[in-house]
A and B are shown apart, each in its own frame.
Chain A
Amino acid sequence: MIIEAKNVSRTFRSTKKAEGFKGALGLLLKPEYQSHDAVKNVSFSIEEGSFNGLIGANGAGKTTLLKMLSGLIAPTSGEVRVLGYDPFKRPIDFRKKIALVMGQKAQLWWDLPGVDAFDLLRAIYDIPSPVYKERLNRLAELLDVTKHLNTQIRRLSLGERMKMELIGALIHWPKVIFLDEPTIGLDVLAAHKLREFLKEFNRVEKATIILTSHNMEDIERLCSRVLILKTGEMIYDGKPEGLTKKGECRLRVRLMQKPTADELAGVSGVPAAAIKTPNGGPEADGEAEAEDEAEGHVDRDSVYFTTKVDLIPTVLQKLMAKFTIVNMGIEEQSLESVIQRLYTQA
């Protein structure tokens, strides 16, 4: 195993500030502290050459976990090994073999063109000139930024900058790559190109990649394994297909009547927990529904039944016997909707 984490936890301490002038004065004279468990007792191991997705809602602990794996911060308790090293000791050999890309943080020097920054990185990682040139050309071509190599980083668009950051992170051909939201802010085309590139890099170079992203397309298209964090705890570790249950789908039905979830459960034989009604079924809890709707996954006037595909004719028959169906359809369960539900479940 190239990465191993055993019972890893991380707690942060911060000052607590009350509102207003009194709060400011209190902070000055007698600061109060609060603790926050960002990662709680997480264990997992990662195989060499695999592409892994680390996902979770905001504040779930994804970035904290990446920071511990890359050696930026130490765990409060537990043990982390990456490439056989203790990351927090940061030995030179370890630093030469890893890369961390943070989508929200510029790592290159803003006032210089990319090519100057890469040249410095060439010297830092002691890459022979012919190898460096070949890699730079290959990466720039793959990411379609050859014409921007001599432009000041700060003058580039967000997408172009992100691609430059990736070149800066990969120019030394790391064995382990930590990517923290690399497609953040990118347009559809740029995100697609980036994904294709990462897929290719992982396939050809056998680099082990851990990717965090809020974009489920990134996860679906790239990752063979998904780790889901929720408020610091690991709630899922497995294949993405394992989240979308095989043979299950969503039956969307628009009815003339407005029955409750319990009534629908009684008639259809589908458990009330698997029914989402317009007037607020068990699954119709605020945030996920709002996000579903924003993404165009929810028709507010319809009822949704999550059930086995082969049970659908029976469910429909039972419903038609009692209610008038105006419109209907069958939907595949998307990874996104499953994960949204996981995030919002208590």
Chain B
Amino acid sequence: MKWRIAALVNGFKDATAYRVEFLFEVLGSAFVPAAIQWVLWYAMFKIGGANEIAGMGYSDMIRYTMVSLLFTQVRGGDHDFELQEMIRSGQLSNYILRPVGLVEFVYIRGMAPKLLIAGMALAVGSVAGMFFGISPGRLLGAMVMAFIGNVIHYQIGAALATTAFIWEEAFSFLMVKNMLVSLLSGELLPLSLFPKNMQWIWQSTPFYLYVYGPVQYSLGHWSHAYFFQQLAWSGVWLVIGWVLIRASWGLGMRRYLSLGG
């Protein structure tokens, strides 16, 4: 446990080594998807004259967008890109001889700023929730789900990063994965906007647990029972992610070349 706490502290120090960069990371990237959504809703409802889409009015859409901001930033970092670069460049050698689990170590170091962001989002959400009628209890539960989503996101990314053992370069592959995640997590659009016959697509991935699920629970669209059922599903996804990592890294390490001197 000791090294995990130390790695967390170390990761936090690393993430905050450059204050301005850290602030941009926390605040900057969340507003772009939000701005895209706002333009879209404005065009549909105010210019296009629509009253309701998939059961949601203009104010519902704006509420969705605002609450999704709280969870988008917790969604997950780029540790999978870091892992694939480490495999490609040979930097992985710095970690694999240390007596710790490599994939876990990289995750813990990288999650430190996300924990801070989650805390900040929770505080901001609780204050804002008082005005918009969002229960702090639901917000806390939603944040737990978003954080489990963060772990699943890393697990999937870490497993996919091992393709770099075979292809040497997996950057574009991970980019495609991230684009899919943006679409299927509910970060860009509420997933209820998917056509009825295509709902199964997002329902069969764990990505909706990152943003859409937490937003639905926060806004009271999911019952407590349904929320706990989804939490149980996230547990299943965690196990699948763990198995994926064990298998992919076990196979991948046999091909590791430790290039670069």
Contacts and interface: CB of A to CB of B under 8 A. Distances in A.
Given A73-B256, A124-B99, A152-B17, A104 B261 contact: yes
Interface in A91-108: 92, 95-96, 98-100, 102, 104-107
A124 B94 contact: no
B261 A123 contact: no
A125 interface: yes
B90 interface: yes
B99 A95 contact: yes
Contacts of B192: none
A111 B18 contact: yes
B96 interface: yes
20 contacts: A67-B93, A72-B93, A73-B258, A90-B97, A98-B97, A99-B97, A104-B260, A105-B91, A105-B94, A112-B13, A112-B14, A117-B10, A120-B6, A120-B7, A120-B10, A123-B7, A124-B100, A125-B99, A126-B2, A126-B3
Interface residues of A, number: 35
B5 interface: yes
Contacts of B91: 105
Residue picked from A99, A100, A123, most chain B C-beta under 10 Å: A123
B257 interface: yes
B3 A123 contact: yes
A119 interface: yes
Contact of B10 (A63, A119, A180): A119
A12 B256 CA distance: 11
Contacts of A120: 3, 6-7, 9-10
B97 A119 contact: no
A182 interface: no
Contacts of B98: 95, 121, 124
Contacts of A100: 93, 97
A292 interface: no
Main secondary structure, interface of A, reads mixed
Given A95-B97, A102-B93, A124-B100, A111 B14 contact: yes
A91 B89 CA distance: 24
Interface residues of B, number: 26
A128 to B, nearest CB: 11
A119 B17 contact: no
A92 B99 contact: yes
A73 B100 contact: no
B97 A116 contact: no
B94 to A, nearest CB: 4
A184 B135 CA distance: 61
Interface string A115-158: 01101111111100000000000000000000000001000000
Contacts of B3: 120, 123-124, 126
Contact of B6 (A70, A119, A180): A119
A105 B261 contact: yes
Contacts of A106: 94
Nearest to A13: B257
B196 interface: no
B10 A102 contact: no
Contacts of B90: 105
B19 interface: no
A91 to B, nearest CB: 9
B2 A70 contact: no
A95 B96 CA distance: 9
Interface in A248-284: none
Nearest to A73: B258
Contacts of A125: 99
Contact of A12 (B9, B18, B257): B257
B97 A71 contact: yes
